Amino acid sequence: MIDGKVAPGAHVLRVELHYQGSGGGAFPYLEGYRFRVSAQFRFTSLPGVPLRLEVMGHEQGGPTREEKPAIAFRLWSRG
C-alpha cells in the first residue's frame, strides 16, 4: 500500500503479481503452478482532489472459460 501525494496530471500505474501454488491438501497438482499477471491503469489527478486507488488480484473467468488470475483497479475521487 502506498499512502501519499501524487502530482496533478496524467499517471500510469503498472502492477505485476506473482502467484505460486502450494500443492497442499486435496490439490497436490498445484505445487508446480506459477502465474505472473501484469496490468496497467491510467488515471488523472486534479489539484486538491484526494483520490483512492485500489488494486485487487482476483480470478477471472466463469462457466464457459477457465478461471485465471487477473488484476482489477478501482478509483474513487473524494473531492
Instruction: Name the grid cell of 71.
Output: 488484476
pLDDT at 72: 95
pLDDT at 3: 75
Give the pTM.
0.75
Instruction: Name the grid cell of 17.
Output: 503479481
pLDDT at 1: 62
Domain ranges of the chain: 9-77
Among residues 50, 40, 46, 51, the alpha carbon closest in space to that of 73 is found at 40
Among residues 74, 29, 26, the alpha carbon closest in space to that of 53 is found at 74
CA distances to 28, 29, 70 from 40, in Å: 33, 31, 12
Reply yes or no on whether the pLDDT at 46 is more than 90. Answer: yes
Once rounded to an integer, what is the mean pLDDT over residues 61-70?
77
Q: Are 41 and 13 in contact (CB under 8 A)?
A: yes
pLDDT tens, position by position, 20-36? 887 777 778 778 888 89
